Amino acid sequence: MTIRDESTPAFQIPIPEKILALLGETTITFSILENSVHMLAWFVMSEGSNLGKARIITAELSFRNLRALTRSLIKEKLGEGDKLEAAAALMARAQRLEETRNQIQHSMWGG
């Protein structure tokens, strides 16, 4: 693949386009997951109204802290029980997906 704008010479990336496409898909898919967790936190915090404050609260959080906040909010809202366990399992799965994504995205690609 060649990255080029008019002011610089071509730069060759020594990675097959198929791999680049998969890396892009990983990035986009993880972004969708992260946005979904944001939306869950917003909904639990605001119960569907005044999302502005909820968005401010989550705006600068790392994904790790966002997951922890979301789990805590769900626990506060629902208490202990099956629904909290299900939410905890989802947040644990999101953690594993983040770890896998980080391994992929932060690997050395190319020569």
Tens digit of pLDDT for each residue in 69-109? 999 999 998 888 898 899 899 999 999 999 999 988 888 76
Q: Which residue has the higher pLDDT, 33 or 51?
A: 33
User: Could you give the angle at the alpha carbon of 32 between the alpha carbons of 60 and 25, nearest 5°?
Assistant: 120
Beta-ladder partners of 97:
none
CB 68 within 8 A of CB 62: no
Residue 98 CB coordination number (10 Å): 17
Give the contacts of 44 (CB within 8 A, at least 6 positions apart): 70, 73, 74, 77
Widest pairwise Cα distance in the chain: 60
Please state at what angle helix 51-58 crosses helix 17-46, rounded to 10 degrees.
130
Confidence class of residue 6 from pLDDT cuts 50, 70 and 90?
low
Pairing of strands 2-3, 11-12: antiparallel
